């Protein structure tokens, strides 16, 4: 079974992604913020991570940096999910090791494309 981890401080966003991922029988765990994400990642290794950038405290760029330094997690596909449509944000995320950047609200067709590119589907 494919497991996704959705990291976002907005419960509506996590709930929407969880529902969309069910279309492809992908089970999603949610982390409402960075500290919850770190607890989950200490115990489990998902197949793919969806990560928000703008969160209070530790932002998504810091989490991305951690993921890319951690040997067990370094090769996982990480998809940035953000409402920040500035090209600099996407460039920084991709330069930091993100596999893709998608904008909120997430559209099913875009999500499917990202999952195929990440070889999850």
For the cut 90, the answer to whether the pLDDT of residue 57 exceeds it is no
Sorted by where each starts, the structural domains of the chain and their CATH numbers stand as 3-117 (3.40.50.2300)
Per-residue pLDDT for 73 more than 90? yes
Lowest mean pLDDT of 19-23, 47-51, 53-57, name the range: 53-57
pTM confidence score: 0.96
pLDDT tens digits, 10-42: 999 999 999 999 999 999 999 999 999 999 999
Could you give phi then psi for residue 50, rounded to 5 degrees?
Answer: -110, 125
8 Å CB contact between 67 and 49? yes
Q: Please report, for the chain, how many H helices and E strands are present, in that order.
A: 5, 5
Residue 84 pLDDT more than 90?
yes
């Amino acid at each position: 079974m494919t497991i996704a981890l959705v990291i976002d401080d907005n419960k509506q966003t996590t709930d929407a992604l969880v529902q969309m991922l069910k279309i492809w029988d992908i089970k999603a765990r949610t982390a409402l913020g960075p500290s919850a994400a770190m607890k989950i990642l200490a115990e489990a290794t998902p197949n793919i991570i969806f990560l928000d950038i703008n969160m209070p405290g530790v932002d998504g760029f810091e989490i991305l940096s951690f993921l890319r330094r951690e040997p067990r997690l370094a090769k996982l596909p990480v998809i940035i999910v953000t409402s920040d449509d500035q090209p600099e944000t996407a460039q920084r995320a991709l330069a930091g090791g993100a596999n893709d950047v998608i904008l909120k609200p997430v559209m099913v067709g875009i999500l499917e494309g990202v999952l195929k590119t990440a070889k999850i589907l």
